Amino acid sequence: MAKLSLLGFFLCALMAMLARGNEDAWSSKCYDGAAIINNRVLMAYCKTTIPMGPPWVCSKMNLNFCYGFADAPGLFAKENGFYGDSCGVCDLEADGHTMACWCRPSTTPVYSRYTVDTDYCLTVNPNGFLHCFMQTAAPCTESEEATFLNMTLGSHVRDTTMSLPLAS
């Protein structure tokens, strides 16, 4: 199992290096208004490459399947990493692909800010759905899609109801 996770990490790192700066990055295939909902779910409208299909598709990916958290290195690509067990109040930064979260390391009772480039390991399949490791995002329901379309797509959503002790 450890060998599979290590191999997955290196494959994701290789994909990310190849994707950096070109149209293979997930964020270059999706509308700029992608949002993290409830600190865990990335919702995005992404281009499809299927002939005669819809040009854009709304999908939602639970990022717990794609990222983990450890005291060092912080947030990182990991299959079934469940970063959400240690992190809350997550959002996308202005660049549209860097996720910032307030996370609590095991060595301290205070939360600190950590970031990870979501272009690492997140891709878009030909059907327009977000994908990481062996996990494909679920399609948005009609209700979710309507809500997402009605949001100001240039702004990002986050849950600010959590009260976290923050490092100064």
Looking only at the bridges linking them, the beta strands covering 67-70 and 130-132 are: unpaired
Contact 120, 13 (CB under 8 A): yes
HEC sequence for 141-167: CHHHHHHHHHCCCCCCCCCCCCCCCEC
pLDDT tens, 107-164?
888 999 999 999 978 999 999 999 999 999 999 999 988 888 777 444 444 333 333 4
pLDDT tens, 24-45?
689 999 988 899 999 999 999 9
Strand partners, 131: 123, 136
Domains for the chain: give ranges and CATH numbers. Answer: 2-150 (2.30.60.10)
pTM of the model: 0.77
